[in-house]
Structures are given as C-alpha cells and as structure tokens.
Amino acid sequence: MGAFADRLAAAVRRHGPLCVGIDPRWESLPAAVRASVAHLPPPEQPGAAFEAFGRRVLELVRPHAGVVKPQAAFFEQAGPAGLAALQRLMTAAKELGFVTILDAKRGDIASTAAAYADAAFGPVWDADSLTINPYLGRDAVEPFLTAAQAAGRGVFVLVRTSNPGAGLFQDLVCDGQPVYRHVAAAVAEWNAATLGGCGLGDVGAVVGATHPAELRELRAALPDVWLLIPGYGAQGGTAADVKAGYRADGLGAVVNSSRGVTFPFKPDDASWESAVVAAAARAASELRE
C-alpha cells in the first residue's frame, strides 16, 4: 500500500490539491435524486439519496480531484441507512482511485479512542485518513497514531480551524504562544517519525483558509506536515488565501471545498451534474494556479 503521505502526494501530483468534501443535505439534493428514492420507506430515503448523490459526485469530480472527504455527521443524521451509505461510498471512492479522508473529528481516551481508530482504519470505514481532535491530550491522540501507523494510514489533527469562533480557545496565549502553536508543535513531533519518500509525513494538520496569516505562519513552522485546508469557497477563503499553504514543490496541502463543488445548483436544476463538473473544474484550475 505504501505510506499514506506518499499516496497523498501521488494524488496531488496527478490532480492538484483540490479535496472535495461530501456533506449531503436532504433539502439541497437534486429533486431528481430525491424522487428516485420516493418508493422507499421514509426512514430509508435520506441514506439512499445520499449514496446515490455521493456516487454520482465521485464520478463527476474524478478528473479534477484526487482526494475526497465525506463528512460523517450528515450520514449519521440519516440513521442506519445513512451509515450503510457512508460505508458503501467510502468503498466506491477507493475503487475509483481517490484518497479518502473520513471527517469525523474523533477525540476520546484509552479504549474508546482505540475503538474509534479501529473503526476508521479497519474494515468498517477503511479510510485512508481521519480527522481527530487533540483537546484531550497525548494519551487521546496516541491510539489514533498507533492504529494509523500499523495500517499505513494518516490522521489530520485540528490545529487552527476555519470557523468564526475558533479563536475563543485556539488564540489563548500560554507560555508566550497561542494554544494553536502548541498543538502545531505537538503535530510536528508526532509527524517526525513518519516521513515518506515525498518528504512529508502521515500526521497532518487542519489549518483553515479563513486565517491566511496563521496559514503562512504554520506552513513555515511545519515544513514536512501535510495541511488539510478547509474554508475555501463557500466559507469565504480564496485561492489567493491558500497559496501560503503549499511548499515550494507544490505539495504539502490539500484544499477542501464542499458546498462550493457539490451544491452549485438549486434542487430543481435539471443540469445539476454540469454545474458540479464546472465547479470542480474551476476550483481545480484556481488552486493549480
């Protein structure tokens, strides 16, 4: 299988840094997709629609992106049928050659963290990588690092997130530095032992496009760490904002766009597939520049 960092580097070299987030919302789905599941019992309809929509999105964006990031929460919201849909969608993404990031932001301790990790990297989700929350400390992160290393997978640790309220805790100054810099230093330490042939490691950092100054600062502080950059597109981050996230060799960052690529249409728009293709092509082109 090879190191996660090297597989991610190969995907970025082939397709550029665009990562397509799959965050399905029932009310935003194409009317035709919702109609296609109308024959099912109501509790099963959202999950089936999410799977059908997600599979089609994978096919449509495949020429423009090598990385996809399903958001677990939206599938969980649809209950058992949604979780089954997520599992099948993860499998379909890998069959199509995508590197997968399961966006679940897991964070817990001891055996609970180990169970989350086993689910993410084992046969349940079989994710290439997982987003994790480091707030509980080293002992909460360690099970994810151990499981990822054993399975040849990666993790993305929340460092400087893209939401408006991120600074409430992340900007607090401790020992002369904001908290996010302390988290970044820990990520650098955890990553150091996992470097692949591409010069980057398997322990990445989540750094939002909506904080370009911090993105530039963290790229310099984490030269061998993959950055997962949310906030581009619908959240207001621009291609210019994310440039500071790349290394000189063009690697080092994957830039996520969810709504901007997957929902650039109104539900009644019969040409929604063309809109998705155009949005993905436009984002891929902007980010390559």
Quote the DSSP letter at residue 237: B
Q: Please state, in angstroms and rounded to a whole number, the distance separating the CA atoms of residues 48 and 283.
A: 28
Set 69, 94, 105, 266: catalytic member: 105
Asked if residues 143 and 110 have their Cβ atoms less than 8 Å apart, the reply is: yes
CA distances from 235 to 131, 210, 221, 231, 240 (A): 19, 8, 25, 5, 14
> Rounded distance, CA 130 to CA 216, Å?
24
Report which residue type is found at 173. Answer: V
Spell out the long-range contacts of 31-36 with Cβ–Cβ below 8 A and sequence spacing 24 or more.
Answer: 31/267, 31/268, 32/270, 32/272, 34/267
Q: Is the separation of the CB atoms in 96 and 54 below 8 Å?
A: no
β-pairing, 173-174 vs 253-257, is unpaired
For residue 94, give both structure tokens.
């890998």
Is residue 243 annotated as part of the catalytic site, yes or no?
no
SS3 letters across 167-181? HHHHCCEECCEEHHH
* Residue 214: count of CB within 10 angstroms of its CB: 23
Active-site amino acid positions: 105
